[in-house]
Amino acid sequence: ASGSEGPVQPNNRAIVPASNLAGLPAVVVPCGFTTPGLPVALQFVGPAWSEPTLVALGEWFQSRTEWHSMRPPQP
């Protein structure tokens, strides 16, 4: 992939590099859809070595929402 595919790729540039450049762990979970039906995600970032806590937080969020089981509407 060239890094320029899809309509949401530029949005990823706004949230992903900061945690990656800082060496911080992160977990991303689905949290909805835009009006046109594009998926939206929520990113939890934690301090170094907090992967188990972040995974537990992602599991907790998904256990209380249905977003992970939903699919965008078909065009």
Q: Please write the tens of the pLDDT for every residue from 35-75.
A: 988 899 999 999 999 999 999 999 999 999 999 999 987 87
What is the average pLDDT across 9-13? 59
Find out whether 12 and 1 touch, Cβ atoms under 8 Å.
no
1 pLDDT band, cuts 50/70/90, is very low
pTM: 0.71
3-state secondary structure of 54: helix
